[in-house]
Amino acid sequence: MDAAQIFQRLAELAGAYRDGQAEGGYVTYLPPAELARRLELDRPAPPGDWDEIFRWVELYLRYSVKTGHPGYMNRMWSSANLPSVLGEMVTALSNTSACTFETAPVSTLMEQYLLQAMLDLVGFPKGSGQMTTGSSNANLIALLIARNQASQAKNKGLFAQQELFAFVNCEAHYSFDRAANVLGLGSDHLIKIPVDEHGRMRTDALEAELARVTANGGRPFFVCATQGTTVRGAFDPVAPLLPLREKYGFWLHCDGAWGGPVIFSQKLRAQFLPHLEKADSFTLDFHKMPGTALMCNFLLLRGNMGVLQQTLSAGDETYIFRSEADGSLRDLGTLSLQCGRRVDSLKAFLDWKFYGRAGFAARVENCLSLAEYAEERVQALPELEMVAPRESFNLCFRFCPPAGVDAAALLQAIRSRMQREGRYLVGTGFVGGELAMRFIATNPAIGRPEIDAFLQTVVQSGKTMLAEQAA
């Protein structure tokens, strides 16, 4: 088979898969051992046999989770936008690394173009940034920049340094704990600030911690305001942090992995993210709410390229990187932690051109209005209750437990039942010690009827399980 025939065959499979995503369950659920048997992973394949390859492609698609199915509401991402899927295919087809202009001329320019578009939207017109693999990585790099700006750690390590302290919302993403580990800060130097009843970092508590750390001789070097906490969807206000930054000189980062896309909508930007342009850095995931294929992220800095370069560039790179004599172009790999860089620009670029800012804004606004609708429905159903008030895109609710029934155990049981039936895959998380089902409507296959059907299924599953337990 030549390449054209192979792609022809794939095209048929791909089209049928995409168009049939809503059929049946979101998954054909099989226990791991049974799935392994069906996959025949150790089946010998004659070398060069394309029929065998397509057999596994078909098996892969048949038993994978259909993230575009309306029952898939587990995560912050779902099936990807088609323009970005095309972008991923073309990226794989041309297989290059986006670390130098020489090897990735088109990608380098597309990435720079997109970075500038995002910087302009945020209000960092003279800023800089890079595409990374996701907000975990972006948060790590932001911490690294802040650490190196505040100390001599780049050269001296953390030996004989003033003790450095970073501060985050206690419901911030775990990537900060991982980053504190990687960067040698240690978990004791990542201070978790308690939240108010909305899940927002308490400014008074932050202020007290900043003062305490400083009085003990430590250096507060980094504060993150999470813009859309992962479980609750709370937005930490930026304004109260500005005078504190003035006083203590920390780097102010905004983690908008989840809620960051509100910048596409003028209305929602004003409502959720005023003063973002005064932060030092910001991350937003294109692979979450905007629906671009995984992984796709922008880390944006208010400061210019020099900041990134000073803190990231290290070691002898002369064998690989070249720059234009007038400094107009830089190999993007000089600013990056890794050497080889996946091309993430094309898929984001195609989505950006296909939907435009207005299309992205409409998507984010729709996600919010569906969350509002789901909240109304939960409040109207006597069997369900909110675990915490809705802050934005996330709905944290549960089945009201009858007296003597453990609410968390019942909720987990309902979730597993819906999962194994292949009907719904939905997230859960703790809010103030209580387990909640977390509904979010990032999946474009979800509209009001799908929300109604989902909540009815939760109610029915809960009732059935309670009846079974009683019997």
8 Å CB contact between 279 and 238: yes
Cα separation, 280 vs 300, in Å, equals: 9
Q: Considering only residues 73-92, where is the footprint of ligand PLP by CB under 6 A? A: 76
Long-range contacts formed by 173-178: CB under 8 A, 24+ apart: 173/135, 173/136, 173/139, 173/226, 173/229, 173/230, 173/255, 173/257, 175/135, 175/136, 175/139, 175/140, 176/139, 176/143, 176/224, 178/136, 178/140
8 Å CB contact between 248 and 221: no
Closest CB to ligand PLP among residues 387, 440: 440
Q: Which residues contact 444 (CB under 8 A, 6 or more apart)?
A: 68, 78, 79, 291, 363
For ligand PLP, the nearest residue by Cβ is 134
Q: How far is the CB of 138 from ligand PLP (least distance, A)?
A: 8
- Single out the residue of 134, 199, 261, 333 in contact with ligand PLP (rule: CB under 6 A): 134
Q: Using the rule CB under 6 A, give the single segment among 13-21, 134-142, 234-242, 306-314 that binds ligand PLP.
A: 134-142
- Check residue 394 for interaction with ligand PLP (CB under 6 A): no
Q: Considering only residues 202-231, where is the footprint of ligand PLP by CB under 6 A? A: 226, 229-230
Q: Considering only residues 410-469, where is the footprint of ligand PLP by CB under 6 A? A: none
- Check residue 281 for interaction with ligand PLP (CB under 6 A): no
Closest CB to ligand PLP among residues 136, 419: 136
Residue 268 CA, chain-centre distance (Å), reads 19
Q: How far is the CB of 10 from ligand PLP (least distance, A)?
A: 28
Q: Specify burial of residue 111 (Cβ count, 10 A radius: 0-12, 13-18, 19+).
A: buried
The CA angle 244-250-253, to the nearest 5 degrees, is 95
- Single out the residue of 66, 69, 147, 173 in contact with ligand PLP (rule: CB under 6 A): 173
- Check residue 297 for interaction with ligand PLP (CB under 6 A): yes
Strands 281-285 and 297-301, how do they pair? antiparallel
- Check residue 392 for interaction with ligand PLP (CB under 6 A): no
How big is the chain by its Cα radius of gyration, in Å? 24
Q: Residue 227 phi/psi, 5° resolution?
A: -110, 85
Q: Considering only residues 17-76, where is the footprint of ligand PLP by CB under 6 A? A: 76
Q: Which of 289, 293, 238 is nearest to 262 (CA)?
A: 289
Closest CB to ligand PLP among residues 285, 331: 285
- Single out the residue of 222, 258, 264, 360 in contact with ligand PLP (rule: CB under 6 A): 258
Q: Using the rule CB under 6 A, give the single segment among 49-57, 121-129, 132-140, 148-156 that binds ligand PLP.
A: 132-140
Q: How far is the CB of 76 from ligand PLP (least distance, A)?
A: 6
The two three-digit tokens of residue 338, written as one number: 């890794």
Instruction: Tell me how many residues contact ligand PLP (CB under 6 A).
Output: 14
Q: Which residues bind ligand PLP (CB under 6 A)?
A: 76, 134-136, 173, 175, 226, 229-230, 255, 257-258, 285, 297
